[in-house]
Homo-oligomer: A and B are copies of this chain.
């Protein structure tokens, strides 16, 4: 980011870069929509060749590819463009780790709309979008989330399963709250053949989770409960309750209400496993983790990126005996394991 205070002369460059930053979002969106990275991966390397493959003008493609090069998403030698390691891995449709579908969620009209009224969100202290922004009942954004973000969650899901259940040698009854694509619960089921998973989410979202459970060959150990995590009956006797990217949508009292319900659903010795964006106590580092709070301000009534101290307190108030913080490299997220 910048260390402008170290300069002697003031410069408006950071102002320019920041006010024009929306161009970066739109350039990446356009490149994914037009399949530019895929075209280059197939061996089209000049603007003319890429334009032909993507059915665009050559002039427009040249300007777009130059901009992507400036952003560090392509390289350029003479008039030939090439993929970086990152773009080859995540942005070429032929790559198994292709993440382009995440744009359908991350740059969805719903999320962009909230950000476009940010001054109103700051005035109000929460989303200015009606029906509670993204957290209203059955908001269709969560189907986009479940479909678009699944590829991006494969890796963290596997990392968490290994972290929490490294031996994978005993029966586990798992509740996957607000399961979305279902990949977290599914990763535990893949990791441990004795794990049984129950996923909770809106009906339309669970269809996506069921599809993913079938694809992963764990459908026989994957069950569902339709509805809001705040309203449905969880059942009881769970060894693990997964709370992945969920608590950041709500204020602490709301979370504590949910966590008491989670506590009651756990067997003795059971654990809640939370995946979150957990900034340091200064709330401005690490930058990508801490910056997540802005999306919660613009998109939810009361959500936030909570510090570990805040999360620890919510779990303690809900009756948990002890919470521990775990980094999850190379992701920018953290895991909190809380013991009943």
Q: Which residues of A contact B (CB under 8 A)?
A: 1-5, 7, 9-30, 33-34, 55-64, 66-67, 69-73, 75-76, 84-91, 97, 99, 102-103, 106-107, 112, 115-116, 118-119, 121-126, 152, 282-284, 287-288, 290-291, 293-298, 304, 330, 332
Contacts and interface: CB of A to CB of B under 8 A. Distances in A.
Copies of this chain: 2
25 contacts: A2-B73, A4-B72, A4-B84, A4-B86, A5-B85, A7-B86, A11-B86, A13-B332, A15-B28, A15-B86, A20-B106, A21-B21, A21-B24, A21-B25, A22-B107, A26-B298, A27-B294, A30-B121, A56-B122, A60-B121, A60-B126, A63-B122, A64-B122, A66-B283, A76-B284
B122 A60 contact: yes
Given A19-B102, A22-B22, A56-B123, A294 B118 contact: no
A26 B13 CA distance: 17
A42 to B, nearest CB: 18
A125 B63 CA distance: 9
Contacts of A71: 1-2, 14, 18
B70 A1 contact: yes
Majority secondary structure, A binding face: helix
A293 B67 contact: yes
A180 to B, nearest CB: 18
Nearest to A105: B19
A284 B79 CA distance: 11
Contacts of A13: 288, 332
Nearest to A107: B19
A295 B16 CA distance: 13
Among A66, A99, A304, the most chain B Cβ lie within 10 Å of the Cβ of: A66
B70 A290 contact: yes
